[in-house]
Amino acid sequence: ADAKLRAELGRGWRVAAIGPAGEIGVRYATISHDGRHAGRGGLGAVMGAKNLKAIAVRAAAKVATADPRSVLAAARDLRERSFGPATAKYRELGTLANLLAFNAIAALPTRNFQAANFEGAPSLAEQPAESEVAGMRKVARSSCASCTIGCEHIYRVGRGQKVRVEYENVFALGPMCGVSDPDAVLAASARCDDLGIDTISAGGTIAWAMECAQRGLIDAPWLRFGDSAALLRALDEIGAGSTPLGSLLGDGSKRASRTVGADSQAFAPHVKGLEMPGYEPRTLHSMALGLAVNARGADHNRSGAYEADLSGDLDRLDGGDAHVAAAIVTEDRAAVMDSLILCKFLRGVFTDPFAEWAALLSAVTGWDVTGAELHETARRIVMTKRVYNIREGWQPEDDWLPGRLLNEPLTLPSGRVAALTADRLRAMIDAYYKSRGLDSAGHPDPGIVDDLHLA
């Protein structure tokens, strides 16, 4: 669709298109632009429901900035800083470098969160001395517009086809499903791109189904952890929607687990219907809170609380008030960076984030904004999302994690037991509510709702 529209419309046009999964309403269907897929929450299905295959746009004119010289100076400064050590990992290795690091500290969800270490991690990780993925299969490095980091690492799949490889898609289609064959994981990533589905939700839902098959809860004896062919077959059935299993998995793990019943909801890997990313909550307690209370569900891009867990400043296995404060800080920063359309991988280059972001905003818009005002705006953004959720039917129990994560402790290689109890999570959520100005049920004061004009 992209190629045909560009050929028909001519130069200067950009195209956002859905794949076959969006056309049939797979609930985690994405929208693709230049090979990048957006819409973990299923925006592709929304387009499909409207009989929209693609949207083509072209800029009519260049948008003027309030202070072009300051904007140019800021851009040059950011460019220079983006070549520093804070972004070196993303330039040199990409986010896939996280795989071995997380595996080493028992933070790599494996086989639908049944474990936190994956024996096949070395064959999937970006380590030339150990990895079968590295070497000649890597063909390029790609960047977003005007970006100097280039975190996207492109790999060859089969003959002529290429796929972007990042930590999340390798985690979801590899360790989460117990698959260690790098060729199969790359092929599965490419298959998701072709179908137009989110790799995290696809991997999480298939991993849930593999465990259901393991327990005899669904009739799919071929669907087993570690089976590369089963992974690819499941993706094909989701994309076609022509089999009962494909239709079931196309609904995502939340709805599918309600259909299957039994105890399958306890190990369905989602928060608010959004499948969980590659962070083990039992060994990353700040991140556990961030995922539980996030308005969008289990989205690591809306809560970067794992930064606090990995900083060494907190005991990541013993969540408390300090973890709550850290989760709030990262949530506020993510809200502003998203609103300013700043890359999250630049977060480490700012020494005084809100003040520097206010200066950038002022240069572009001409608004007189201070860092303190921008910080208050961040809180309002977070609150607005919560009020919207409440208006649309949110319930207090939605701020929670799957039962498995609260009832099944992990024994680490060190011998230490990692447990996230319901009581601990409840205490952190209560502290989060209090700090955010919410009542014990997670609702804001009516005056706040009036101020946001969302009553």
What's the rounded mean pLDDT across residues 128-137? 46
| pLDDT reported for residue 132 | 52
Question: Given pLDDT bands bounded at 50, 70 and 90, which one contains residue 208?
Answer: very high
| pLDDT reported for residue 141 | 66
- Average pLDDT over the chain, rounded to an integer: 91
The angle formed by the CA atoms of residues 250, 254 and 255, to the nearest 5 degrees, is 60
> Quick check: 104 pLDDT over 50?
yes
Burial 161-188 (b: 16+ CB within 10 A, else e): ebbbbbbbbbbbbbbbbbbbbbebbbbb
432 Cα distance to chain centroid: 22
> Quick check: 321 pLDDT over 60?
yes
Query: Which of 22-31, 162-171, 307-316 is least confident?
Result: 162-171
| pLDDT reported for residue 156 | 78
58 Cα distance to chain centroid: 29
What's the rounded mean pLDDT across residues 432-439? 96
Query: Which of 39-48, 133-142, 332-341 is least confident?
Result: 133-142
Question: Given pLDDT bands bounded at 50, 70 and 90, which one contains residue 143?
Answer: low
Q: Please, are residues 218 and 212 in contact by the beta-carbon 8 Å criterion?
A: yes
| pLDDT reported for residue 240 | 94
- % of residues, the chain, pLDDT over 70: 93
Domains of the chain: 2-57 (no CATH), 88-274 (1.10.569.10), 280-451 (1.10.599.10)
| pLDDT reported for residue 130 | 42
- % of residues, the chain, pLDDT over 90: 74
Neighbour count for residue 422 (Cβ, 10 Å)? 13
244 Cα distance to chain centroid: 28
Higher pLDDT, 417 or 151: 417
Distance (Å, whole) CA 448 – CA 32? 37
Locate 220 and state its tokens. 């799919």
| pLDDT reported for residue 159 | 67
> Quick check: 127 pLDDT over 50?
no
Residue 398 is classified by DSSP as G
Q: Give the global pTM.
A: 0.93
Question: Given pLDDT bands bounded at 50, 70 and 90, which one contains residue 129?
Answer: very low
> Quick check: 19 pLDDT over 60?
yes
Distance (Å, whole) CA 241 – CA 444? 41
What's the rounded mean pLDDT across residues 397-414? 95
What's the rounded mean pLDDT across residues 249-278? 97
| pLDDT reported for residue 376 | 94
| pLDDT reported for residue 113 | 98
What's the rounded mean pLDDT across residues 67-85? 87
Question: Given pLDDT bands bounded at 50, 70 and 90, which one contains residue 63?
Answer: confident
| pLDDT reported for residue 422 | 98
| pLDDT reported for residue 128 | 40
What's the rounded mean pLDDT across residues 149-164? 75
Distance (Å, whole) CA 411 – CA 423? 20
What's the rounded mean pLDDT across residues 190-209? 97
| pLDDT reported for residue 146 | 66
Q: Please, are residues 245 and 260 in contact by the beta-carbon 8 Å criterion?
A: no
User: Which is it for strands 36-38 and 14-17: parallel, antiparallel or unpaired?
Assistant: unpaired
> Quick check: 264 pLDDT over 90?
yes
Give tens-digit pLDDT for 358-395: 999 999 999 999 999 999 999 999 999 999 999 999 99
Burial 199-215 (b: 16+ CB within 10 A, else e): bbbbbbbbbbbbbbbbe
| pLDDT reported for residue 135 | 47
What's the rounded mean pLDDT across residues 231-248? 96
